[in-house]
Structure 1
Amino acid sequence: MKILVLGGGVVGVTTAYYLTEAGHEVTVIDRQQGPALETSFANAGEVSPGYSSPWAGPGVPVKAVKWLLMKYGPLVIRPGLDPHMWSWLTKMLRNCTAERYAVNKARMVPIAEYSRDVLKALRASTNIAYDDRAKGTLQLFRKQYQLDGIAGDIEVLKQYGVPFNILDQNGCIAAEPALANVREKFIGGLQLPGDETGDCQMFTTRLSEIATAAGVRFEFGVTINGIRTDKGRISGVSTSAGEKTADAYVMAMGSYSPVWMRKLGQPIPVYPIKGYSITVPITDARRAPESTVMDETYKIAITRLGDRIRVGGTAEIAGYDLSLHEGRRKTLEHSVGDLFPGGGDLSAATFWTGLRPMTPDGPPIIGASKYPNLFLNTGHGTLGWTMACGSARVLSDIVSGRKPEIDASKLGPSRYAS
């Protein structure tokens, strides 16, 4: 089949790769001048199946109030008149029950674990390199109550067979030697040794080159002006480079997917949740992280990417606003400066923001739409890098009429039909 993929981020490019591997003729269009220049550009760098959990869960509404009141809090809400914001928040609150959390978690973990396995196979078959490391993730607890509260998380990890280690101060330092300089700042941690790290933008760029060699056509700097329908099917896409037609179409536009799906008469509950990062050049490797450290207090990930430290986090609910707020930068600088002082040059850090496409229940949306030739691969939230390869492989199977290797029946947009 001739397939047109809308979106050139990590999800769109991995989708194109696996579709062409399945024998299809694939074209990718994106408004940017290259791959992974929006949300995939400077994320926290984690490939973390073990942390694949819904944001919506028991106790989250109470925690959210506390986060909003913190000086370096992880949550910011900039209320506006956007009805989609309030609708999404309402749906998320409805998912903040133990029952819904269990259902949603059960849908997220398999696709995340599968995706890590698919990524490993891709790495083995292509030798793709992207400042990748496989040294796990360390969730660091500054307070005893945080460590005391992980019993529920441990049960979930056991349920899904995710390897983990509960560490005291010395164990944390053994995993991340630079923490020896600030041992008074924390009391213990939870390590997931199976997690990985890597530069998502570097990966996506290199995979696009591999995909190009395999026959994928990339058209960058192309803006979508409209999506046409005829007799219950997608009949074409109007763009700044002319009309584009195909046998099938894939919606992989992240936070902008719901904009087009509303126009197509099939709204999906995806909303942009703004995240920030700084990228800090390492000045003393002995004082820098070895892998990813999750600062549980501020919900910030601090990741080693080659000769840089990527510090990412915060959740800002503000629509499609891409302005950079200095208060968010100070939060990121505070976390990394507090745990890894002297590891990098904060004065030389670059500051970035991107829009995470979040669903109110947590799992991404992967599958067929009400149009038989339009498929969705979107709504991955903070886990687009973690879930990209597996999501792309699953969608390629669905488009190709094959049964996916994992059960993806509950990931499609039909779960919102009621």
Structure 2
Amino acid sequence: MTVVVMGAGVVGSTTAYMLTRAGLDVTVIDRQDRPGMETSFANGGLMNPSDSGPWNSPGTVKNLGNMLFDDYSPLKIRPSAIPSMIGWGLRFLANSTPRMHKANMIANIRLAQLSLETLRAIRAEEGLTYDQTVRGTMRMFPPDGRMSEFVQMCREMEEWGVVFDTLDKGQILEKEPCVAPVIDRYIGAVLFPDDESGDAHKFTNEIARVAQASGATFLMGTEVIDIVRESATKISHIHTTKGEIQANAFVLSLGSYSPKFSSRLGIHLPIIPVKGHSITVPLNGWQGGPTRPILDDGLHAMITPMGDRLRMGGRAEFAGYNTAVDIKEGLRVLNNGFKMLPELKNHMNADSGLNWSGLRAMTPGGPPVIGPTRYSNLFLNTGHGPLGWTMACGSARITTDYITQGHVTTEAVAPEYYAL
């Protein structure tokens, strides 16, 4: 059986690996010159089931003004993006009720945990290295009262297998002495010991490498132009910049760009792009940084160790398909990193940092869209939002089940949450 996977990001490349291991003849198509060059290139690096709570928590309606007018809002709406997100936005708000938010959170947790379990098995079998850390993540809180609210959400997640510990200031310093100069900024922290992190770009290239070693073909520098129907229920082939490519089955895994192709087939994916920013800086031999990702809940900022580098990330914004690197936003991310880790200033040259932005493919509720379509040989694996890497291996496993078995074989997920 031949399968074409459209997209060589972390989701598409992992899907190709799983399909190849299942004995299928797989071809991956991507417009970039190597895998993982878009959204997977410099994301936050977190693989964290602990962050499964969707962004539209109850009370989101009250924060709309901040999203539009507050330059420090963790989720920013650019006025230029409003016309394209009205329908999506109404569904986003509809999913912010306590009942819907909890249901979506549980769906995210189940998929994220399946994914992490699958990743660990793949890593052990293939010997993958990608600057990973397996020491959990730590979220630190200023004395603004939000920590108690967050801990309550953690207790809800705990019912579904998310392990956490609360830390006081002394325990924070035991785990991460690097924050000693600013420890008075925090009242406490929550540690998630099962979380992991690493370089998603390196992982994507590693998983693509082992997929190719197992027989997959990666056609890089090849752009999808159109998905062509044979009938009302079957795809014939895809038209690319390098000609027509036929297969028995097709997987659409183009992230934020998936709706541009699915809509031509009458499949209207509830996905819009959300822009994320990061700064990656070399450590120049300095060993005084964090040993696991640390997050500042007040600044909405994070620092992730990646071998001889640190990656810092900040807020997200609805800005349409604008992928331009924003120098001002990059400086904001860097300055927040300095607030969390003041010593970093003495060990880096700001000019050597990589300032990056990329688009997350967001659904209104949070869970991605995975599975079959009205076309018998077209499958979806897209819309993972900020949890693309966290969910990549689990999503690939589910997609492979649908293509090879016709249904999901694991009881770890509830497939209806990921359907159109």
Give your verdict on TM over 0.5: yes
Counterpart residue number, 2:48? 48
The residue matched to 2:205 in structure 1 has which SS? Answer: helix
In the aligned structure 1, how far is the partner of 2:37 from the partner of 2:244? Answer: 24
Please give the alpha-carbon distance, in whole angstroms, between the structure 1 residues aligned to 2:81 and 2:108: 31
In the alignment of these two chains, the number of paired residues is 414
The corresponding residue for 2:84 is: 84
1:130 aligned to 2:130? yes
| Residue identity matched to 1:362 | G
- Secondary structure of the 2:210 match is helix
1:357 and 2:361 equivalent? Answer: yes
Shift of 1:286: 4.4
TM-score, length of structure 1 as denominator length: 0.95
The TM-score normalised by the length of structure 2 is: 0.95
Q: How does 1:11-410 map to 2 (within 5 A)?
A: 11-66=11-66, 70-80=70-80, 83-231=83-231, 232-283=233-284, 285-343=286-344, 344-345=347-348, 346-401=350-405, 403-405=408-410, 406-410=412-416
Structure 1 unaligned segments of length 5 or more: list them: none
Aligned partner of 1:9 in structure 2 is 9
> Which SS does the other structure have where 1:3 is aligned?
strand
RMSD: 1.6
1:182 is aligned with what amino acid?
V
Conserved? CA contact 1:157–1:164, under 8 Å: no
Q: 3-state DSSP class of the match of 2:29?
A: strand
Aligned partners of 1:31 and 1:220 also within 8 Å? yes
Identity of aligned residues (%): 39
* Partner of residue 413 from structure 1, selected from 386, 406, 419: 419
8 Å CA contact retained: 2:81, 2:318:
no
CA contact (8 A) 1:64 1:75 kept: no
* 1:252-292 deviation line (CA, Å, top 9, x unaligned): 00000011111110101010000000001114644312111
C-alpha change, 1:172 and 1:69, in structure 2 (3 Å) is farther
* Counterpart contact for 2:81–2:320, Cα < 8 Å: no
Distance 2:64 2:117 in 1: 34
- Post-superposition CA distance 1:146-191 (Å, at most 9, x none): 2232243122132112111101111111121101121122121111
Matched residue type, 1:249? F
Distance 1:329 1:131, change over 3 A: same
Partner Cα distance (1:165, 1:284) in 2? 31
Q: Confirm or deny: 8 A CA contact 1:11 1:389 kept in the other structure.
A: yes
Q: Identify which range, 192-201 or 283-292, moves more after superposition.
A: 283-292
Residues 71, 185 of structure 1: CA spacing in aligned structure 2 closer, same or farther, 3 A cutoff? farther
Q: Secondary structure of 1:31's partner?
A: coil
Secondary structure, in 3 states, of the residue corresponding to 1:119? helix
Deviation at 1:335, TM superposition (A): 1.4
Q: Look up the SS of the partner of 2:209 in the other structure.
A: helix
Distance change (3 Å), C-alpha of 1:378 and 1:56: same
Code of the aligned partner of 2:111: I
Letter in 1 for 2:117: D
- Give the distance between the partners of 2:292 and 2:64, measured in 1 at CA: 28
